[in-house]
Amino acid sequence: MLKEALAQNGLIAILRGVRPDEARAIGHVLYEAGFRVIEVPLNSPDPYTSIRTLRDSLPADCLIGAGTVLTPQQVEQVKAAGGQVIVMPHSDANVLRAAKAAGLFLSPGVATPTEAFAALAEGADVLKLFPAEQVGPAVIKAWLAVLPTGTLLLPVGGITPDNMQVFIDVGAKGFGLGSGLFKPGMTVDQVASRAQAYVAAWKALS
């Protein structure tokens, strides 16, 4: 289902710092703009409540996940809150295995081919290339020449509507969008405007 959601729209919304009281409204404008995967990093205020709020208030075709997941215990807490996707800044095998055992979709962070192959061997659904500023388009092209056919690589970090083209040209199938889309303190209207700009850029390029 994660790959299907990303096939509809390859953009993942990363709501680092979102508060539970604003999660519902922000989730709705993201969904209306076309987002089908929304992530709440666990270093946000009361993240499990925000995850539950998003899951309960958005249609089933929108997957809700958690980011910055660092331990197997957090995997269980995410599942209990209704989360469906585990996103990590790294590729710790213990967390990968816990996520797969829990039946959750998995997007670990990788920055080397060794990490990418190891994460795929543990059942990763998609690979988060982090940070994208370090792992540039030339690296992505080289990786895709050796990774299994169909591997989904999603650059995360510093992605704007204006720089997506160079990544798509070398085979990137989507992006994780952080502070360019949402920062704490932004209004719902500001998030909606940025979301629409990203989705318009994505549709124009993909």
Question: Which stretches does DSSP call E strand in 47-180?
Answer: 63-67, 85-87, 105-107, 109-110, 127-129, 153-155, 175-177
Catalytic site positions: 39, 128
d(CA 131, CA 10): 17
Write down the mean pLDDT value for the chain: 96
Position 136 confidence tier, pLDDT thresholds 50, 70, 90 = confident
For the chain, the domain total comes to 1
Residue range of the domain that includes 172: 1-205
**Closest alpha carbon to 177 in 91, 47, 48, 67:** 67
Q: How many CB atoms sit inside 10 A of residue 60's CB? A: 8
3-state class of 24 per DSSP? Answer: helix
3-state class of 62 per DSSP? Answer: coil
3-state class of 105 per DSSP? Answer: strand
**pLDDT for 59-107, tens place per residue?**
999 999 999 999 999 999 999 999 999 999 999 999 999 999 999 999 9
Percent of the chain topping pLDDT 70 = 100
pLDDT for residue 70: 98
Bridge partner residues of 35 (DSSP) = none
Q: What is the CATH number of the domain that holds 42?
A: 3.20.20.70
Q: How far is CA 191 from the centre of its chain?
A: 17
Entry pTM = 0.96
